[in-house]
Amino acid sequence: MNRIEQREWVFKLIYQDSISKIEDIDKVLEDLDLIGEDFVKTSIASFLNNFSSIDDKLTSNLDNKHKRLSKVVRSILYLSINEMYFMDVPVSVSINEAVNLAKKYSDEDDYKLVNSILGSIVRKDGK
């Protein structure tokens, strides 16, 4: 499985966690036949371990009109913030992949919102 496919699975797991909290990563990965996908395991573990910091970073960078994001868009943003701040994925790679996920899984123009929010976060932090 390539990195794009792995990232897509991480996005799906983050979305799943927003609906029903993931308690046992290994069990979830086994159920989805993702055992051996180290990037997926590392990424979802990082997300779960750093959730409050990731959520704080996102929430503090949203203006009033964007406080109510869909779970899909929020999951994509969580994925990218986790990658950039806790997994040392290059900013440009993470934002580009987040935009691509938004084009595939969210409403027509949500990719612009994803790009804008992530750009704002990294500019504010000087990344």
Interacting residues of 25 by C-beta distance below 8 A, sequence separation 6+: 41, 44, 45, 48
The pLDDT tens digits of the residues spanning 18-75 come to: 999 999 999 999 999 999 999 999 999 999 999 999 999 999 988 766 678 899 999 9
Q: Domains in the chain and their CATH numbers?
A: 3-125 (1.10.940.10)
Question: What contacts 66, CB < 8 A, 6 or more positions away?
Answer: 113, 117
Give the separation between CA 99 and CA 105, rounded to whole angstroms: 10
pLDDT computed for residue 110 by the predictor: 93
pLDDT number for residue 76 = 98
The pLDDT of residue 65: 63
DSSP H helices, the chain, are 3-19, 25-31, 38-49, 51-60, 71-86, 91-105, 110-125
Q: What is the pLDDT of residue 66?
A: 66
How does the average pLDDT of the chain come out, rounded?
Answer: 93
Among candidate residues 46, 39, 103, 37, the one with its CA nearest the CA of residue 78? 46
Instruction: Check residue 63 and give its pLDDT.
Output: 76
**pTM, full prediction:** 0.94
Average pLDDT on 105-123 reads 93
Q: Look up residue 40 and give its two tokens.
A: 């997926």
pLDDT of residue 125: 84
